[in-house]
Chain A
Amino acid sequence: QSVLTQPPSVSGAPGQRVTISCTGSSSNLGALYAVHWYQQLPGTAPKLLIYGNTNRPSGVPDRFSGSKSGTSASLAITGLQAEDEADYYCQSYDTRLSGSVVFGTGTKVTVL
């Protein structure tokens, strides 16, 4: 029932670049609402990774970058490392759901 769609999984070898897409609609990303990204390591709480489409909180490596265009957003991980193996979620806001926070379906990143 998520209104933001992500691929279930992506994988890459150490050192490679992977991207995760987040596809929305005119009532969320297309309405200019910003996208935020979270990383959830196994067995832990989510952690804010990217906010406002492109900004990294203090302490987040610059290997992580975000972008947004129209009704889609992307998270890129360059120089993939073993510790990047986690679930990643995009998050925004949707006007149709009484002004509601919405999460993406989530993407499992596997480091080969």
Chain B
Amino acid sequence: QVQLVQSGAEVRKPGASVKVSCKASGYTFTTSDINWVRQATGQGLEWMGWMNPKSGNTGYAQKFQGRVTFTRTNSIATAYMELSSLRSDDTAVYYCARGRYFASQSPQTVLLDYWGQGTLVTVPS
């Protein structure tokens, strides 16, 4: 079965960086994009961007451009999200999710069919 297992909770000081890992199993890692989504406590879901593990191509939401980097190590089927210049409002649960493209009588969109368990990143103010 498809599983995405993320690294454990992190605490960072303002201005520091954090790197979260996401290990995939149950499918061929290079055949699907990995997306990253975050959720502040009590708030909604916020999409951060995507990465194609096969090519290494990435796409970042405008809000995070220049501050987030997605990478991967295909030999261990693991994707990484690194967020720099952390602020207190970056405190959130960060999720990785497998992306699948959907296009049936409509323009292509991406849906997120499997999610990691989430990683809490805390940046004390």
Contact = CB atoms under 8 A, between A and B. Distances in A.
Contacts of A32: 106-107
A13 interface: no
Interface stretch (A15-23, A78-86, A90-98): A90-98
A98 B62 contact: yes
Main secondary structure of the interface of B (DSSP, over half): strand
Contacts, number: 74
Nearest to A98: B62
Number of contact residues on B: which range applies? 20 to 34
A47 B45 CA distance: 12
A93 B95 contact: no
A53 B47 CA distance: 20
Contact of B112 (A34, A48, A98, A106): A48
Given A46-B112, A98-B62, A100-B61, 17 more contacts: A32-B106, A33-B109, A34-B106, A36-B102, A36-B111, A36-B112, A46-B95, A46-B97, A48-B111, A51-B102, A52-B106, A57-B113, A91-B112, A92-B109, A100-B47, A101-B109, A103-B45
